A and B are shown apart, each in its own frame.
Chain A
Amino acid sequence: MSAPLIRVEGLAKDYVMGSNVVPALRGVTLDIAAGEFVAVMGPSGSGKSTFMNLLGCLDHPSAGRYWLGGQEVSALSGDELAAVRNRKLGFVFQHFNLLARTSALDNVALPLLYGNVPAAERHPRAERRLIQIGLAERMDHHPAQLSGGQQQRVAIARALVNDPQLVLADEPTGALDSRTSVEIMALLQQLNREGITIVLVTHEHDIADFAGRIISFRDGKVVEDRSNAPKDAAAQL
């Protein structure tokens, strides 16, 4: 078996609140292989969001090590982490986080701007992704002119535009109604079938059920890590 895409060993994170040290993550060790669709579950305060932030290179661990695609990223500087986020990772957020008054096309092209992709290539690449997620007709629309589901699709296109090794989705359906949620999950499942590794945080079992592996957190530790026979979201539409 080849090296896993993600390997974490004893990953821990403490938050300092005044004189108190609050442990959010207490030593997590696990591997995620390329091509997996993983759902991370747990109640609030379980450490699942902290785990996601560490996987996303948005935060430094207090202890432990983290390899992404064979590269140890837990020891990198802020600028090096920015480069890792730019080249290897894609993010999907609960509240979409699109730039207001900026067209869908420019929103999708944003990561390319920071990746020093030549100006002439940015729009064609962004267009390809928008066509892929089914928003070919809406490229010039601003976020305010799009529905919640459409906005989240734009955000997914943005996560994909730099051909990442890993897409991290933090409660991507948290702000959507149930039908739109299923649509988004169908899209993620389709992307996963095309070979993209996805790690998704959710607290809804219905949503986690679409993933092939479910990892549950409680009190900063992994309490359950099981494979799951995923439901087909497309079939529910």
Chain B
Amino acid sequence: MNFAATLRIALLALRINKLRSALTMLGIIIGVAAVIVMIAVGNGAQARVEDQIKSLGSNIIMVLSGSMTSGGARGGSGSQPTITEDDAYALNREIDEIQAAAPSLRGSGQVVAGNANWSTVFYGTSPEYLQVRDWAVIEGRSFEQAEINGAGKVALIGQTVALNLFGEANPVDQVVRINKVPLTIIGVLDRKGQNMMGQDQDDIILMPISTARKRVLGSSRYAAGRNVGSIMVKTKDGANMAEAETHMRELLRQRHRLQNAQDDDFYVRNLSEILQAQEASSKVMSLLLAAVASVSLLVGGIGIMNIMLVSVTERTREIGLRMAVGARARDILTQFLVEAVTLSLIGGAIGILLGVGGATAIAEFAGWRTELSAGSIVLAAGFAGAIGIFFGYYPARKASRLLPIEALRYE
């Protein structure tokens, strides 16, 4: 007996009990759709985290000023300015694993351009900052060394600031004033979007660190000396970040002349690690979701087995007749197996359509990011087929083992 004939018999048998076939498929449909949607949601969450890692820049380590204890009260990080611009340059120079280190002085204020104004944050930094953050200047140019050394009255602005101050006009060569200091805009930064805290990273102005210190910050405590709020470090690709951290710590302790017994007067934070932990947890989450969804696939498979057993019992006489006219045990086995697999594959196909539709709908209406992958669809389809074979085998074998004479006599 050939496969086309077997398939035709299976389709006929499924058509005869339309409602029952549909209800049996429902388990598989829901299971497959759930697996696809859950994997899409999980992948979407992961992709979002990956994008955040990318927007932060990869392999980032932050060095922050330490805390100060005065009269028993311990201040928070940065309460005591301990790290300096020169620490940043030393890190750059002396540690092999480091690709770039940028000092930064943070401030905020009202920016005025013509009759428009906007409140934003600004950073005084060095050109390495752009390298550390993988940030491109899309219009104009970056800082020149002379401007860094000489407290040049220049600035780079983010997209949000550009939009709020200049609208559609080109901001390059325009002049803005921050704390009454006029700065010429020499370039516009590429769009970064939100960071992982939901802050707008494009709402920013960068200027040479000397400019910030000497001209803009004015009376701020950081304005004196060489202190900076933080140093942002990017390690080389493939460098061991833990080793890089250790070396940085050793160098900074040495520069700050700390004794062995003394605690660090700075903090080293590996931001990529935090994000990677997030990524790992979102991976676990999506695995968990897929596992829960596959439970419903399993239940759907049990439904198929149940209905196939009922079907075998109901059609005992038909089986007896087929055997009487020459069907071998393996013909009967194949017939019922094909019926079960057809049931699960049709269910799987409908489930895939529903799953793809569901993932699209979630992205559309709930605004979650979802990512459909061909792999998950192939996986779900393969799983559905495997379930048909696994749960169809027992009933089919039961049918094939009937004795022709008993099957014919069955009432």
Known: A58-B408, A82-B327. 17 other contacts (CB 8 A): A56-B324, A78-B328, A82-B329, A85-B324, A87-B326, A93-B408, A97-B317, A97-B320, A97-B324, A102-B12, A110-B322, A111-B326, A114-B328, A114-B331, A119-B5, A158-B325, A162-B326
Q: Which of B322, B326, B331 has the most CB of A within 10 A?
A: B326
Whether B326 pairs with A82 at a CB distance below 8 angstroms is: yes
Interface string of B390-407 (1 = CB under 8 A from A): 000000000000011100
Whether B328 pairs with A82 at a CB distance below 8 angstroms is: yes
Whether A101 pairs with B16 at a CB distance below 8 angstroms is: yes
Among residues 12 to 52 in chain A, which have CB atoms less than 8 Å away from a CB atom of chain B? none
- Report if A146 contacts B (CB, 8 A): no
In the bound complex, residues from chain B placing their C-beta under 8 Å from that of A236 are none
Return the contact of B404 from the options A58, A83, A114 (Cβ within 8 A).
A58
In the bound complex, residues from chain A placing their C-beta under 8 Å from that of B324 are 56, 58, 85, 91, 97
CA distance A102 to B13 in the complex (A): 10
CA distance A79 to B333 in the complex (A): 13
In the bound complex, residues from chain B placing their C-beta under 8 Å from that of A102 are 12
CA distance A162 to B324 in the complex (A): 13
- Residues of A that sit less than 8 Å from B by CB: 53, 56, 58-59, 78-79, 82-83, 85-87, 91, 93, 97, 99-102, 110-111, 113-116, 119, 158, 162
In the assembled complex, the CB of A56 is this many whole angstroms from the nearest CB of chain B, namely: 7
Number of interface residues of B (CB under 8 A): 24
Whether B325 pairs with A86 at a CB distance below 8 angstroms is: yes
Whether A97 pairs with B408 at a CB distance below 8 angstroms is: yes
Among residues 173 to 210 in chain B, which have CB atoms less than 8 Å away from a CB atom of chain A? none
- Report if B1 contacts A (CB, 8 A): yes
In the assembled complex, the CB of B124 is this many whole angstroms from the nearest CB of chain A, namely: 84
- Report if B94 contacts A (CB, 8 A): no
In the bound complex, residues from chain A placing their C-beta under 8 Å from that of B354 are none
Whether B404 pairs with A79 at a CB distance below 8 angstroms is: no
Whether B1 pairs with A113 at a CB distance below 8 angstroms is: yes
CA distance A59 to B323 in the complex (A): 12
Among residues 315 to 361 in chain B, which have CB atoms less than 8 Å away from a CB atom of chain A? 317-318, 320-331
Q: Which residue of A lies closest to B15 (CB)?
A: A101
CA distance A102 to B329 in the complex (A): 22
Whether A99 pairs with B318 at a CB distance below 8 angstroms is: yes
Q: Which residue of B lies closest to A78 (CB)?
A: B329
Among residues 1 to 43 in chain B, which have CB atoms less than 8 Å away from a CB atom of chain A? 1-2, 4-5, 12, 16
In the bound complex, residues from chain A placing their C-beta under 8 Å from that of B4 are 119
Whether A91 pairs with B325 at a CB distance below 8 angstroms is: yes
Q: Which of A59, A97, A101, A113 has the most CB of B within 10 A?
A: A113
Return the contact of B1 from the options A56, A100, A101, A116 (Cβ within 8 A).
A116
CA distance A160 to B167 in the complex (A): 91
In the bound complex, residues from chain A placing their C-beta under 8 Å from that of B2 are 119
CA distance A27 to B405 in the complex (A): 20
Whether A114 pairs with B403 at a CB distance below 8 angstroms is: no
22 contacts between A and B (CB under 8 A): A53-B405, A56-B324, A58-B324, A58-B408, A59-B404, A78-B329, A79-B328, A82-B323, A82-B327, A82-B328, A83-B326, A83-B328, A85-B326, A86-B325, A91-B325, A97-B317, A97-B320, A97-B321, A99-B318, A110-B322, A114-B328, A162-B326
In the bound complex, residues from chain B placing their C-beta under 8 Å from that of A82 are 323, 326-329
Interface string of B116-157 (1 = CB under 8 A from A): 000000000000000000000000000000000000000000
User: Which 9 A/B pairs are nearest by Cβ-Cβ distance?
Assistant: A86-B326, A114-B326, A111-B325, A58-B405, A82-B328, A97-B321, A58-B404, A79-B328, A59-B405
In the assembled complex, the CB of A172 is this many whole angstroms from the nearest CB of chain B, namely: 14
CA distance A86 to B317 in the complex (A): 17
Whether B5 pairs with A113 at a CB distance below 8 angstroms is: yes
In the assembled complex, the CB of A109 is this many whole angstroms from the nearest CB of chain B, namely: 10
Q: Which residue of A lies closest to B331 (CB)?
A: A114
In the bound complex, residues from chain A placing their C-beta under 8 Å from that of B16 are 100-101
Q: Which of A56, A82, A99, A115 has the most CB of B within 10 A?
A: A82
In the assembled complex, the CB of A112 is this many whole angstroms from the nearest CB of chain B, namely: 9
CA distance A169 to B317 in the complex (A): 17
Q: Which of A56, A97, A111 has the most CB of B within 10 A?
A: A97
